[in-house]
Amino acid sequence: MKKNRILFTFLVLAVFFSSCNNKSDEYIDPRGPDYAGSESCIQCHQTQYDMALKSAHFKATAPAISGNVLGDFDEKNHTFIYDKDTKIVMEKRNDSLYQVLYKNGKEVEAHRFEIVFGTKHAQTSVYWRDNNTYELPLSYYNAINSWATSPGFPADKPYFDRKVVRDCYACHSSNISSRNVNQNPDEVNFLSAEVEDVIDKKTIVYGIDCERCHGPAKKHAEFHLKNPHVKVANSIVSYKTLNRQQKLDACALCHSGNDGMKMKSRFDYKLGDNLSEFYRSTRNPNDTTFDVHGNQFRLMSQSKCFIKSEKMDCITCHNPHENASKNLASYSKICMSCHQGLKHNATTLKTMSGSLLANNCVECHMPKKMSNAIKFQISNSKEMSNYILRTHKIGIYPAK
């Protein structure tokens, strides 16, 4: 008992000292002094910056201020009914947005949108509670222009307790520092069973920024500021000089699923590192059930194009600073750069003329597929709705 009290005093002191160290309110880049921040790249890389600013990568996480949050807050379409007594209403109060739970017409709890994840197909949001973030029970889906249950959330009762852990941020942000509440494990290990990570609110670096992909670039920026006549890049990892696996790893870091073995935090990965020291898929590479959500790398790896060309990577088709093009014909040109003189058989040609076919490679060979990982339910519905993305397994599929 007495021992516990001494240990408790230690803990209080530890917490006190650690909070003294970070008590200033100024912004701290949790990545340390080697990082310059995206804004410092503008003056020399305006083109890349302008593109990236509008990209889904840059917006992968953002503060939930109006303008960043999708969905209706004051129209008809802002209520989700769980049952005749229970509903959640999306509400704007002063400058903040909330999901408010009502039971029999009375407000029970209200949670504020703090950080949003995503913009393209869906957007989910989190609120802060006790130094951690928790997912709000309703998300917005562009395919239905409406609110529906967050993936995996029940549609018969509201649920506010799903913690959004640092792992989510490792793919959706450039950094967030978390620390173990138990900072001095030797002194306070009697608590270890209950120890949890807490997230440091001030340290989040929103979105996937320049240095998340390119690695720390402060030295690079400083060098070129001092040496404006030097036109050859200094002090930065060059993507061009990487081998194929390193190039693939740069994207596979976040685009090869999350069900494998994690050895080190994704945040510690830098361009040129070997991904298998951080994350390794434990599944058979020939598994036919890789999900269209979040696993473009594994699916692409199963394509003959990838295996036989021995050179295809993500950059073959994507500009890393821009969103995926909506113009599918532009991809057909890329397909045809490897598939010149291609001839479809008579049966295929019957479905479409040769000239139409030429613009539609993707529609037939990378068809849209249902995700098994993500499903959702709309208000007052017993049925699951499907989340649909294009597969990256390029192949021959039966006609629809």
**203-222 residues near ligand HEC, rule: CB under 6 A:** 208, 210-214, 217, 220-221
In the chain, the N- to C-terminal Cα span, in Å, equals 71
Site for ligand HEC in 255-294 (CB under 6 A): 255, 258, 293-294
Length of the chain as a residue count: 400
What Å distances lie between residue 175 and 18, 28, 202, 269, CA to CA?
20, 11, 11, 11
Q: Which of 19/340 has CB closer to ligand HEC?
A: 340
Interface with ligand HEC: number of residues (CB under 6 A)? 102
Q: Which of 155/170 has CB closer to ligand HEC?
A: 170
Q: Which of 103/318 has CB closer to ligand HEC?
A: 318
C-alpha to C-alpha distance for 377 and 359, rounded to whole angstroms: 35
Q: Any contact of residue 52 with ligand HEC (CB under 6 A)? A: yes
Selected from 11, 31, 41, 147, the binder of ligand HEC by CB under 6 A is 41
H-only helix segments in the chain? 2-21, 46-53, 166-172, 210-214, 218-226, 244-255, 296-301, 304-309, 328-338, 346-351, 354-359, 361-365
162's tokens: 């799903």
303's tokens: 């394509």
Task: Name the minimum Å distance from CB 361 to ligand HEC.
Answer: 3
Of the candidate spans 6-14, 24-32, 179-187, 230-238, the one that interacts with ligand HEC by CB under 6 A turns out to be 230-238
Reduce the DSSP state of residue 304 to 3 states and report it: helix
C-alpha to C-alpha distance for 120 and 33, rounded to whole angstroms: 33
Residue 31 CB neighbour total at 10 angstroms: 19
Strand locations in 4-95, DSSP E? Answer: 61-63, 79-83, 86-93
Q: Any contact of residue 317 with ligand HEC (CB under 6 A)? A: yes
**Contact characters 142-181, ligand HEC, x per CB under 6 A:** ----------------------x--xx--xx---------
Site for ligand HEC in 71-110 (CB under 6 A): none
Q: Which amino acid, 385?
A: S
The residue with its CB nearest to ligand HEC is 118
Q: Which of 15/171 has CB closer to ligand HEC?
A: 171
261 phi, psi to nearest 5 deg:
-100, 130
Under a CB-based contact definition with an 8 Å cutoff, are residues 361 and 379 in contact?
A: no
β-bridge partners, 367: none
Q: Which of 103/121 has CB closer to ligand HEC?
A: 121
Q: Any contact of residue 124 with ligand HEC (CB under 6 A)? A: yes
C-alpha to C-alpha distance for 262 and 243, rounded to whole angstroms: 23
Selected from 144, 329, 336, 370, the binder of ligand HEC by CB under 6 A is 336
- Residue 195's Cβ-side half-sphere holds a number of Cα atoms within 13 Å equal to 15
Task: Name the minimum Å distance from CB 217 to ligand HEC.
Answer: 4
Q: Which of 88/217 has CB closer to ligand HEC?
A: 217
Q: Which of 71/102 has CB closer to ligand HEC?
A: 71
Selected from 14, 45, 96, 283, the binder of ligand HEC by CB under 6 A is 45
Site for ligand HEC in 343-362 (CB under 6 A): 344-345, 348, 351-352, 357-358, 360-362
Residue 313 CB neighbour total at 10 angstroms: 20
Distance from chain centroid for Cα 367: 23
Task: Name the minimum Å distance from CB 386 to ligand HEC.
Answer: 13
Selected from 7, 100, 236, 378, the binder of ligand HEC by CB under 6 A is 236
Closest CA to 88 of 111, 114, 67, 70: 111
Task: Name the minimum Å distance from CB 271 to ligand HEC.
Answer: 8
Q: Which of 102/169 has CB closer to ligand HEC?
A: 169
